[in-house]
Chains A and B, each alone.
Chain A
């Protein structure tokens, strides 16, 4: 899908919204599959987002400064016997971009403008 310069795609809005929901549920840092699961459950039930689509969108949001990410401590992953997770976190700019769009259009599934970073 082509975008107008400075706007967010519907999936990107949904990701920010899901990130905010996770934070409200006490999960400030989330990994890719956790986000895909949250997206699949809210705001409307749907299938899990495709790998390529999800991680490409996450990268775009990170480059726009709306999310930040880092690898988790390898010792934590080793102790739990699983691969290391890349943990994402919603930034203040991400929250504002989402809130601005919601205030303008009165709903979550809109396209707020990207703030200059």
Chain B
């Protein structure tokens, strides 16, 4: 199965998940529309000669960015099916989940990293090749990186009460080790994509809090998109560097400089607007 096929399967899994227990016609329509959309996007990419990786990344971004809207839509459909009105008080939990879904994911992934890291360290290098790719001799070092990443993410979640920005950035950094599993086939790749999604969400949230958009206004949708795409790029290369790839390490330095320049540019734009 190719990466593009896996991505299609991931979208199909997600739409099947959030349409569960909805009326049959409503669920079937949404599933069929999404499957058609992804098929059309892949066909369009092939016709235009767009690299498969770019199409795959675009599909993943569209899926991840639409998760809050998917959850709100599900809540509305459930309410309509059960004949109950949508009230602000009555939708507290779904509303909270729609806003904080990435924090739930970050908590699960952080805990998962700690368990995998400690388990690998205690159990030796057996099985480390699956989740901690690379030279088996370096499995202990990679286990330490994974554990540290998990602890950083969990610390970041706790830290958000004191400083939202610091907490979000800690979460983003803590998600980098599992992003490295992007090069691993099987379920680990799904974990990697989820970690990438959390990284993007955390950095965008931090930027929102810092109000890098116009004064007093939230970050514009286009700026959020640009920031998200930049974060995906930086996170993937940084994750490759964690695996000890020298070219990637050099790229990380370059991308960090680019990121700082973008940050300064956004700040300047905010001041002048």
Interface residues of A (CB under 8 A from B): 31-34, 36-37, 46-56, 59, 71, 82-86
B30, B221, B225: the one within 8 Å of A55 (CB): B30
**Which residues of A are found within 8 Å of B43, using beta-carbon distances?**
82
The verdict on A33 contacting B44 (CB below 8 Å), with A51-B37, A55-B33, A85-B36 known, is: yes
Chain B interface secondary structure, helix, strand, loop or mixed? helix
**Which residues of A are found within 8 Å of B229, using beta-carbon distances?**
47
Q: How far is the CA of A27 from the CA of B229 in the complex (A)?
A: 31
Segment 59-105 of B: residues with Cβ below 8 Å from A: 61-70, 72-73
Closest A residue, CB atoms, query B15 = A51
User: B42 to chain A: closest CB distance in Å?
Assistant: 10
Tell whether B107 is near chain A: CB-to-CB under 8 Å: no
The verdict on A83 contacting B66 (CB below 8 Å), with A33-B44, A47-B225 known, is: no
B36, B72, B73, B225: the one within 8 Å of A32 (CB): B36
Closest B residue, CB atoms, query A11 = B221
User: Do B37 and A33 have beta carbons less than 8 Å apart?
Assistant: yes
**Which residues of A are found within 8 Å of B221, using beta-carbon distances?**
46
User: Do A51 and B36 have beta carbons less than 8 Å apart?
Assistant: no
Closest A residue, CB atoms, query B76 = A56
Tell whether B235 is near chain A: CB-to-CB under 8 Å: no
Tell whether B222 is near chain A: CB-to-CB under 8 Å: yes
